[in-house]
Amino acid sequence: MAAKWIEALTGSLEQKKQYKQLKARLDALPEPYGTAAKAMHRYFMYYGGITDGDDLVRMLEGLVELWERAAADGTRVADIVGSDPVDFAETFAQSYGGTQWIDKERARLTKAIHDAEGEERQ
């Protein structure tokens, strides 16, 4: 009973557990992969704006698996991200789709403009 109440306020406890496990895997990556993965994770927190916990966990899992494979194969960081790390990170984040915080603001802006147009006609 208490867990449902807490989850209603804070979100899924299972997602938080998965996130922490994935974050621990990210933190355990050898260098230079750990530095690159942590930089991308930080960028996603600012750029991605994903509001759905499932989408966020899936994206972090994909990120961790990408860098774990690169480390295991000895693939150079530059060979993964190419010459434009920002483009790589944004393309990576977009591939996970989902609802972003900006979607709500886009809908709010569109509604406000439509409402304003309706008021002009009156």
Which pLDDT belongs to residue 52?
Answer: 73
Q: Tell me, what's the pLDDT at 122?
A: 63
**pLDDT the model gives residue 60:** 93
Which amino acid type is present at position 46?
Y
d(C-alpha 62, C-alpha 55), whole Å:
11
pLDDT for position 121: 66
Q: What is the chain's pLDDT, residue by residue, as a tens digit (122 residues)?
A: 566 655 555 567 888 899 999 999 999 999 999 999 999 999 888 776 666 778 888 999 999 999 999 999 999 999 999 999 999 998 898 888 766 667 778 888 999 998 898 876 66
Residue 69: predicted pLDDT: 98
Tokens describing residue 84: 């434009």
Q: Which pTM was predicted?
A: 0.73
Domain containing residue 115: CATH number: 1.10.1900.10
Angle of CA points 73, 74, 75, to nearest 5°: 90
Q: What residues make up the domain containing 109? A: 2-121
Overall domain count for the chain: 1
Quick check: 50 and 96 in contact, CB under 8 A?
yes
